[in-house]
């Protein structure tokens, strides 16, 4: 259980919005003292999922929640929601090397490995929400 | 606010409203009941502007618009503005920001717009509406009471349209700046550096979106041909994050370089990026990688059959 401190929403409608998602995620991660490795993992996962939202979901939005776990550790949750075609075969989509768009096929599965928590909610024809959670390994400064 | 960039992004849609609000067609539609159909009021306003030229220029030069200017420059700019406005009124183009009279005051407006450039937008932007009050006061002192309001309308319309012309210049200057900076950025990020005969390096910096990545690849491949290069080093020290798209780009560039007979080395993979790439599952396969550009250069030299050695005669 975590307390949510602040929430940001970023729309994802064009390529440049992926940069905005990355910057918002990085700024928040830096502000609560995520280490450089943790920041890089978080930003990379955000970049993958934001691009999925744009390319596969025809755009959507990212919701970034800054929270605090019971033991005081800062947490960041990123939820990417689109109203695109959804994912018909979840197992296939999570298989390394499978891509429906000519990519490396590591975005979704890689983001799952980078994150501490991963949740995929999809319905064909309705859309997809992918949520990843990150915890700072060391207590926040101050 | 924790992330100002994000906040700025959200504020952006207002700009569209601004653009609509200042579009000449939309903004002026409500003022159609002008004195335009009445040639006499047009004549008397023109006569007033010509007869009281010096008074008008004097009161305009003392407005906030010109306080920062040297008196001689201010007088000259006021004079040019007034000439343009007379031309607009004579030609009946007071509702058209593209009228020739407005076109002739463009240099003055551009200089006004340039003065606000660099400052924070809003508060200290030049505002030509400050010219309206003093002008209408002078007009009221001289105009016959029964036609005064129609002259008001005409003069107001001219100055409103002048304001639109100024805003158009300011906006297009902003858009031009953005386009120019984007072009500069695309080029800046892709200098191909010759380290040695046959060894090229390309330092990649910041965010590699598809445009910039593509430009980088193209200029590297071109230079491989032009310089008969056998080694191409892609240095990613300045890249903040390597996601699958960037990785795919690096791999494709490496394969393309190899097809052209050059070996590709990727250097500058920092610890946090290496860790992230492993977890992401990215495998750079047969592409050689080195931690630093120096290591990659040393490898490149050995590929072309050179080596760096101590010069013992000068070492001690």
Query: Is B9 in Cβ contact with A106 (below 8 Å)?
Result: no
- Whether residues B175 and B201 fall in one domain: no
**pTM score, whole prediction:** 0.62
B184 falls within a domain: no
DSSP helix/strand/coil, A59 = coil
Taking contacts as CB-CB distances below 8 angstroms, the residues of chain B near A104 are 244, 247-248, 282
Distance (Å) from the C-alpha of residue B3 to the closest C-alpha of chain A? 6
In this complex, do B279 and A113 lie within 8 Å of one another by their Cβ atoms? yes
Q: Cβ contact (<8 Å) for B276 and A40?
A: yes
Instruction: Report pLDDT for B302.
Output: 94
Count of structural domains within chain B: 2
- What distance in Å separates residue B245's CA from the closest CA in chain A? 7
Query: Does residue B149 share a domain with residue B47?
Result: yes
Count Cβ atoms within 10 A of the Cβ of residue B123 and give its class: 0-12 exposed, 13-18 middle, 19 or more buried: exposed
Contact between chains at A27 and B275 (C-beta distance less than 8 A): no
> Which pLDDT does position B17 carry in this prediction?
46
Report d(CA A10, CA A94) in Å as an integer: 25
Pairwise CA distance, residues A2 & A32, whole Å: 15
Q: How do residues B92-128 score in pLDDT, each as one tens digit?
A: 888 888 888 888 888 888 888 777 654 444 456 778 8
DSSP annotation of B37 reads G
Whether residues B126 and B252 share a domain: the answer is no
Q: Does residue B252 sit in the same domain as residue B281? A: yes
Cβ-based interface (< 8 Å): residues of A facing B: 6, 8, 10, 15-16, 18-20, 22-24, 26-28, 31, 36-37, 39-41, 43-44, 47-48, 51, 66, 96, 103-104, 106-107, 109-111, 113-114
Partners of A7 in the beta sheet?
A: A65
Residue B161 to residues A57, A67, B231, B315, Cα–Cα distance (Å): 45, 51, 61, 76
Q: What is the DSSP string of B184-243?
A: HHHHHT---EEEETTEEEEEEEE---HHHHHHHHHHHHHHHHHTT-SEEEEEEEEES---
**B145 to chain A nearest CA, in Å?**
57
Residue B292 is part of a domain; what is its CATH number?
A: 3.30.750.24
Q: What is the secondary structure of B58-76 as a DSSP string?
A: HHHHTSGGGTTS-HHHHHH
* Secondary structure class of A116 (helix, strand, coil): coil
- Interface contact flag, B2 A6, Cβ < 8 Å: yes
Round to whole Å and give the CA distance between B236 and B54: 65
Contacting residues of B for A95, CB less than 8 Å apart: none
Quick one: pLDDT band at residue A60, thresholds 50, 70, 90? very high
Q: How far is A99 from chain B (nearest CA, A)?
A: 11
In the structure encoding, which two tokens stand for residue B253, read together?
Answer: 């560039």
- For an interface test with B, the pick among A17, A38, A104 (most B C-beta atoms closer than 10 Å) comes out as A104
Proportion of chain B above pLDDT 70, given as a percent:
81
ipTM: 0.84
Within 8 A of A106 by CB-CB distance, chain B residues are 244, 280-282
Task: Flag whether B64 is in a domain.
Answer: yes
Question: Which range marks the domain in which residue B153 is found?
Answer: 14-179
Q: Are residues B129 and B89 in the same domain?
A: yes
B160 CA to centre of own chain: 26
B209, B243, B287: which to substitute to probe chain A, counting the most A Cβ within 10 Å? B243
In this structure, the answer to whether residues B32 and B175 fall within a common structural domain is yes
Q: Decide if A20 and B9 are in contact by the 8 Å CB cutoff.
A: yes
Domain assignment present for B185: no
pLDDT in tens, B56-98: 988 888 888 887 788 888 888 898 889 988 988 888 888 888 8
pLDDT at A127 over 90: yes
Given B138, B157, B179, the domain boundary residue is B179
Domain check: are B254 and B282 in the same one?
yes
Q: How many Å apart are CA A48 and CA B244, to the nearest integer?
A: 7
Cβ <8 Å between A103 and B243: no
> For residues B267-294, b (16+ Cβ closer than 10 Å) or e, as one string?
bbbbebbbbbbebbbbebeebbbbeebe
Which residue in the set B3, B243, B273 is minimally distant from A48, CB to CB?
B243
- Do the Cβ atoms of A22 and B282 come within 8 Å? no
Is residue B81 located within the same domain as residue B213? Answer: no
Cβ–Cβ < 8 Å for B260, B225? yes
Closest C-alpha to B288, from B267, B259, B261, B257:
B267
Domain annotation covers residue A141: no
- Looking at the domain assignment, is residue B245 inside a domain? yes
- Strand, helix or coil at B150? helix
Is position A140 within any domain? no
Residue ranges of chain B whose CB lies within 8 Å of a chain A CB? 2-3, 5-6, 9, 207, 209-210, 240-245, 247-248, 271-273, 275-276, 279-282
* Same structural domain, B173 and B203: no
> Does the residue A84 lie in any domain?
yes
Which pLDDT does position B4 carry in this prediction? 46
Phi, psi of B288 (to 5 degrees): -70, 140
Give start and end residues of each alpha helix (H) in chain A: 15-31, 36-55, 90-93, 107-114
CB burial of A95-105 (b: ≥16 within 10 Å; e: otherwise) equals: eeebbeeebbb
**Residue A142: inside a domain:** no
In a domain, B166, yes or no: yes
Any domain includes B312: no
Inter-chain contact A28–B248, Cβ cutoff 8 Å? Answer: no
Overall average pLDDT of the A56-65 stretch: 94
Q: Assign residue A57 the CATH number of its domain.
A: 3.30.565.10
Asked whether residue A123 is assigned to any structural domain, the reply reads yes
- Residues of chain A with C-beta less than 8 angstroms from the C-beta of B273: 40
Q: Are residues B63 and B155 in the same domain?
A: yes
Residues B141 and B19 both lie in one domain: yes
**Closest Cα in chain A, distance from residue B19 (Å):** 21
The shortest CB-CB distance from A107 to any of B207, B241, B244 is to B244
pLDDT of residue B145: 78
**Of A6, A24, A48, Cβ closest to residue B244:** A48
Domain assignment of residue B168, yes or no? yes
Is residue B236 domain-resident?
Answer: yes
Q: What is the DSSP letter of B30?
A: G
CA dihedral B272, B276, B277, B278 (to 10 degrees): 110
> How far is it, in rounded angstroms, from Cα B275 to Cα B277?
5
Handedness of CA B104, B106, B109, B111 (dihedral sign): negative
State phi, psi for B205 to the nearest 5 degrees: -130, 140
Q: Which domain holds residue A18?
A: 2-135
Give the distance from residue A9's alpha carbon to the nearest chain B alpha carbon, in angstroms.
9
pLDDT tens for B10-45 read 444 444 444 444 444 444 444 444 444 567 888 888
Mean pLDDT across chain B: 80
How much is the pLDDT for B75? 87
The span from the CA of B215 to the CA of B198, in Å, is: 21
What is the total count of domains within chain A?
A: 1
């Amino acid at each position: 259980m975590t307390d949510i401190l602040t929430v940001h929403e970023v729309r994802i409608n064009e390529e440049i919005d992926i940069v905005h998602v990355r910057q918002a995620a990085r700024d928040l991660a830096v502000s609560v003292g995520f280490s450089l490795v943790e920041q890089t993992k978080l930003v990379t996962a955000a970049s993958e999922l934001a691009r999925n939202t744009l390319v596969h979901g025809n755009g959507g939005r990212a919701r970034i929640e800054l929270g605090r776990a019971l033991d005081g550790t800062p947490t960041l949750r990123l939820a990417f929601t689109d109203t695109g075609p959804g994912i018909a075969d979840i197992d296939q989509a999570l298989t390394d090397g499978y891509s429906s768009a000519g990519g490396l096929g590591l975005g979704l599965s890689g983001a799952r490995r980078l994150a501490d928590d991963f949740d995929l909610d999809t319905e064909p024809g309705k859309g997809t929400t992918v949520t990843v959670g990150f915890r700072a390994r060391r207590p926040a400064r101050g | 606010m924790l992330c100002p960039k994000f906040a700025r992004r959200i504020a952006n849609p207002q700009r569209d409203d601004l653009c609509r609000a200042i579009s000449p067609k939309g903004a002026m539609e409500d003022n159609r009941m002008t004195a335009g159909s009445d040639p006499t009021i047009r004549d008397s306003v023109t006569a007033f502007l010509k007869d009281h030229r010096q008074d008008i220029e004097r009161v305009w030069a003392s407005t906030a618009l010109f306080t920062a200017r040297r008196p001689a420059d201010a007088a000259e700019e006021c004079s040019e503005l007034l000439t343009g406005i007379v031309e607009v009124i004579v030609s009946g183009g007071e509702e058209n920001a593209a009228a020739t009279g407005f076109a002739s005051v463009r240099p003055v407006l551009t200089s006004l717009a340039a003065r606000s450039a660099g400052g924070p937008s809003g508060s200290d932007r030049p505002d030509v509406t400050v010219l309206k009050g003093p002008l209408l006061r002078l007009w009221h002192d001289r105009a016959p009471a029964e036609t005064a309001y129609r002259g008001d309308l005409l003069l107001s319309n001219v100055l409103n349209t002048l304001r639109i012309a100024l805003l158009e210049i300011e906006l297009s200057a902003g858009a031009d700046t953005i386009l120019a900076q984007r072009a500069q950025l695309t080029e800046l990020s892709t200098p191909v550096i010759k380290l040695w005969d046959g060894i090229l390096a390309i330092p990649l910096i910041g965010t590699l979106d598809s445009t910039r990545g593509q430009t980088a690849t193209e200029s590297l491949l071109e230079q491989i041909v032009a310089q008969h290069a056998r080694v191409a080093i892609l240095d990613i020290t300045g890249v903040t994050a390597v996601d699958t798209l960037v990785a795919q780009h690096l791999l494709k560039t490496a394969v393309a370089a190899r097809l052209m007979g050059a070996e590709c080395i990727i250097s500058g993979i920092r610890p946090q990026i290496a860790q992230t790439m492993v977890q992401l599952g990215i495998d750079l396969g047969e592409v050689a990688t080195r931690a630093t550009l120096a290591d990659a250069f040393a490898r490149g030299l050995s590929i072309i059959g050179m080596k760096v050695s101590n010069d013992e005669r000068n070492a001690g």
